[in-house]
Amino acid sequence: MRRQSVQTNEVRRAWGLLPAFLSLDAPRVDLVELGASAGLLLALDHYDYRYRAGNWGAGAGTLVLDGDDRGGPPAEMLGRSLDVGRRIGLDLDPVGLGDEGARLLEAFVWPDQSERIERLRRAIAVARTCDIDLRRGDYVELLPAVLADRRDDALTIVFHSVSTTYLDDDRYAALVAVLRRAADDGPLVWVSFEGPRHDPDYGGVALEVTRWPGGETTQLARVDFHAAWLDWGETRQDRS
């Protein structure tokens, strides 16, 4: 505890996040996660998923994620592929996926949550096979350089899950400004899995996708904080 602050990495959130990535229907994507912890969500394309409308994944069965999805995602979306190139995680205090890091992540899960611990162990085993680039630092400060290095042959997706809730309003506004400035230089997607700011009664998180050029935001679903359930329903707004 003296060496490492508390870091959790709830991999089940990948079940809630995946529909946002599939909704883009992009040939190839580069992922940048804000508040990545150990980067387990950056390996989301290597897990298997179960939804009412169908399954998604390689079918390896090493880690199968599911939940109570209500009304979506649609079967058409689950028929799309996800080709991930870069996997970059930004975090103030990232956790490596070696033996010590794995023990730390497990220690930060409540001991009576045996299912969650087993899911974590399986996710670590899978993520260790991926090339995940974890970078230490304040993600608002690191992000401009990362976005300046975008590739033309992949759509860059910046995403976060229950991370920006810890930013004060000024710092959050600075993050939004970074994204908007970067969007002036080329296509960019922002996927947010967060409770709406200043709305404590929302009851979960909003799964939102903002895509530039254009700056239109689509809220795809309301999701449980740990992705135990998902209420599908698309609404649109302009964030440009």
Q: With contact defined as beta carbons under 8 Å apart, do 193 and 223 qualify?
A: yes
| The two structure tokens encoding residue 33 | 């996660």
pLDDT, one tens digit for every residue, the chain (240 residues):
677 677 778 999 999 999 999 999 999 999 999 999 999 999 999 999 999 999 999 787 789 999 999 998 999 999 999 999 999 999 999 998 999 889 989 988 888 989 999 999 999 999 999 999 999 999 999 999 999 999 999 999 999 999 999 999 999 999 999 999 999 999 999 999 999 988 888 999 999 999 999 999 999 999 999 999 999 987 766 554
Among left, alpha and beta (phi > 0; psi -120 to 50; other), residue 193 is beta
Neighbours of 48 (CB within 10 A): 17
Cα separation, 240 vs 237, whole angstroms: 9
What is residue 237's predicted lDDT score, i.e. its pLDDT?
66
Q: Model pTM?
A: 0.94
Q: Which residues pair with 87 in a beta bridge?
A: 31
Name residue, tokens 């998180």.
205
Residues in the chain: 240
| The two structure tokens encoding residue 137 | 């630092």
What is residue 234's predicted lDDT score, i.e. its pLDDT?
75
Q: What is the DSSP string of 174-211?
A: HHHHHHHHHHTTS-EEEEEEEPPTT-TTS-SEEEEEEE
